[in-house]
Structure 1
Amino acid sequence: MGNQASDYHRGEMDIHEQAATYAAFGKMTKWGSLAIAVALTFFTLLFCTPAGFIGAAGTAVVLAVVGILALREKATPAH
């Protein structure tokens, strides 16, 4: 029983691929959510309100620009 604890090795796996997959999934989720929100806004305004195509397209473009500005990667300060 006593020497089983010495057989444990912590953190020897290379997890770069898993970390890259996790980061890619997060980015796809973030940008995909923005695309869905823009599409839903456009089609809702187009078909369910008297805004028409120009109003729906203008609102969708504004939402897309605000979303891109809010969701883009922030610059990390270098040390």
Structure 2
Amino acid sequence: MDDRSHFGDQTQDVVDHERTYHAFSVLVRWSMLAIGNTIFWLTLWFASPAGFLGATAAALATFVIGYIILVRHEEKQPLNVWTEGR
């Protein structure tokens, strides 16, 4: 059943729902990245000897890694979940 023909035609409501869910998913990923990175930065700044500059450098590095893992991968996915290769 790789052809997915048993799902039938997509209506506009289904496509709108998929796009809304995709936008919500991206929003949640950005929120997770921002909140987690802020907590990491504040913890390093105030609760470790790293200080402001050390905490900022580490937070920037983890933000870039988190962006690559959490956000960038999903943004490249097509909005239509039934397309080939998804």
- Scaled by the length of structure 1, the TM-score of the pair is 0.72
CA RMSD of aligned residues (A): 2.7
AA aligned to 2:62 is L
Can you give the 5+ residue segments of structure 1 that lack an aligned partner in the other structure? 1-9
Q: Which runs of 4+ in 1 moved over 3 A?
A: 10-13
What runs of 5+ residues in structure 2 fail to find an aligned partner?
1-7, 78-83
Supply the distance in 1 between the matched residues of 2:42 and 2:66 (Cα, whole angstroms).
17
Residues 1:60 and 1:22: Cα distance change in structure 2 (over 3 Å): same
Figure out how many residues of one structure are paired with residues of the other and give that number. 69
- Per the TM alignment, residue 38 of structure 1 is displaced from its structure 2 partner at its CA by 0.8
Cα drift, residue 61 of structure 1: 0.4
Q: 1:16 to 1:56 in 2, by over 3 A?
A: same
The CA deviation at 1:73 is: 2.6
Larger radius of gyration: 1
TM-score (normalizing by structure 2): 0.67
**Structure having greater relative contact order (Cα 8 Å, sep ≥ 6):** 2
